[in-house]
Amino acid sequence: MRKAWWVALVVGVCACSGDEPGGQQSGPDAGEVSDTDTGELSLTLTATPESGGEASVFAGETTSEEVRFECGPAECVTECSHNDGAFVACPDGRFELEVGEGEHQVVVRASLGEERVEESTSFVRVRDFGVSLEAPLSGERYYRDLGLVRGACDREDCVLSCEFCAVVDGTESCVAVESCEQGAALELSAVESRLKAQGCVEVAGESYCREEVRSYAMVDPVWTQLSVGGAHSCGILDDQSLWCWGSNSAGQLGQGASGGSESQAQRVGGAWEEVSAGREHTCGIQVDGSLWCWGQQEYGRVGNGSDAYGSVTSPQRVGSATDWAEVSAGGQHSCGRRGTNLFCWGHNTGERLGVESHASEVTTPLLVGGGLSWEQVSAGGEHVCGISTQGKAYCWGRGDSGRLGNGADEAIGTSPTEVDALSSWSFLQISAGGEHTCAIVQTGSAVRAYCWGAGSYGRLGTEVTDHDAHYHERSPALVDGGAEYSQVSAGVRHSCGVDAEGRGQCWGSNSDRQLGDGRTGDAASPSAVNQSDDFAWIGTGEMHSCALTQVGEAWCWGQVVDGRLGRESDAAPGPVAWPHGLAQD
């Protein structure tokens, strides 16, 4: 864009002397005055230069400028010079030029006969440049660790500096960030923090700077999703970050190493929509619809093409599809849904995956047979269940103890088999456990919980307990009490659900206080979780349970070993520890 700078050059003729009344007087603002020898002709040239004020920034290597001026009478001749260069004719009251970075001076010279006057204007131009930060975006953050932050400036002569400021009791204190260009590890230390990168260049003896600022506010975490595995758990926050805790025996926490355990939530890189924790592996769907799995890869359960015993300790992509809508990690197999198509992979003994393969291990996702359209899937210990788009429930895989719900026992279902149900029933949600299955069923105007399969320890919630595993239900049986439920989860030896009032209810084995009711004895009927907050979701693992409250808090209870509760101790229901930001009340 062309910029204009005005220089006023005014030519005046006066026929009177300086001491006559009304005569023109010279002064500080009159410019340079010359009189002719006769005194009859007075020539006045007044130049008013425009300095341009602050330096102007332009893009590219050069920019167009235009200096304008006025000269009279019309017979005056004007010439212009740029930065001590030769004078060139510049008629019509304008001087056009291309300038680069730096200080510029334009001299305008006007002449009329023997008379001459000149004036100048100066300005500074600076080539534009940018400063950037490689750091988490501004906004609420739920974790202290910002990772490696880097600053950059896109000019070679730019001097870059970074500072990190914390606000404590209304007072801001700042420290310089060393090695900002190479990358510096930073942790939030206060509720409010600010990270700034500043780049400066020197032009014409002055510094010109650009900066990029990020502001952070630590708040309590807001969980949007949880999943409970055999001895570990994972959850997603509302910033789409994924965190896992508990046993890491096979790298199922996704931290790049296997072994040991973590009692505090550890972040898994990436942005996530869904996560499912299995027995010794984990699968998740990122926000772009891609599917990833990690942990124990034996039997092909992580879908990476290998069935060898060993650990995949960081998320590894499963195929190239970007339309995954659901995933469920089971005991030694996994299943997922793309649209209304269902796929399974992993341990396939007895062809339990329901796919068209006779191999004992299926190492990549294969389409489940039967030609059905699906809207939900759940992978259990050694069987799979799903709900079709018609609201019908189907199960397949190992069928002993009646876990398939098809009225049979000691059977292997190699393809989806419909669960026994009245034609008026509509299945809303299903959960495949270790040796049993539970579901939420719409029966007329009521929404109730039903379970079937192995009934030992009271895990079916039908008021029958048989530790010798003689009691089975081969078809869906109503959970005792007939209360309405919004969600249910089948674990290994216990089950839990959320009733219509938002209360957590659990039943079955309680050897490690996994029912959360303050007792240790098994319960064959639903027993209320000792927690007053309303639940939105509840999940069951091998010997622990976790729940998501309606305000986004994560609570766990049960067996405390391996850090599976997300805190150091206390088997009673309590919040998952959060050392990465503000502590929960």
pLDDT digits (tens, 9 = 90+) for 169-210: 889 999 999 999 999 999 888 889 999 999 999 999 999 999
What average pLDDT does this structure show over 44-63? 65
pLDDT level of residue 535 (50, 70, 90 thresholds): very high
Residue 13 has pLDDT above 60, yes or no: no
pLDDT value of position 43: 36
Residue with tokens 């299995």: 278
Share the mean pLDDT of the chain. Answer: 89
d(CA 202, CA 192): 33
pLDDT value of position 112: 86
H helix or E strand, kind and range, residue 549: strand 544-549
What average pLDDT does this structure show over 481-506? 97
Q: Which two structure tokens, joined as six digits, stand for 558?
A: 């049960």
d(CA 450, CA 390): 19
H helix or E strand, kind and range, residue 195: strand 192-203
Give 332's contacts (C-beta < 8 A, 6+ positions apart): 279, 298, 299, 301, 346, 347, 382
Minimal CA–CA distance to 106: which of 62, 49, 59, 61? Answer: 49
pLDDT value of position 27: 34
Which has more pLDDT, 53 or 573?
573
Specify which residues 284 forms β-bridges with. Answer: 275, 292
CA triplet 293, 574, 265: central angle to 5 degrees? Answer: 35
Residue 45 has pLDDT above 50, yes or no: no
pLDDT value of position 323: 98
Residue 24 has pLDDT above 70, yes or no: no
d(CA 245, CA 268): 10
Residue 26 has pLDDT above 70, yes or no: no
Least reliable range by pLDDT among 2-11, 228-237, 572-581: 2-11
d(CA 264, CA 244): 8
At 95 the three-state DSSP class reads: strand
CA triplet 449, 450, 452: central angle to 5 degrees? Answer: 150
d(CA 189, CA 170): 14
pLDDT digits (tens, 9 = 90+) for 82-128: 999 999 999 888 899 999 999 999 998 888 888 888 888 889 999 99
pLDDT value of position 341: 98
Residue 122 one-letter amino acid = S
φ, ψ for residue 574 (rounded to 5)? -160, 160
φ, ψ for residue 414 (rounded to 5)? -90, -5
pTM for the whole structure: 0.77
Which has more pLDDT, 192 or 50?
192
Residue 382 has pLDDT above 60, yes or no: yes
**Neighbour order of strands in the sheet with 145-153:** 131-134, 145-153, 184-187
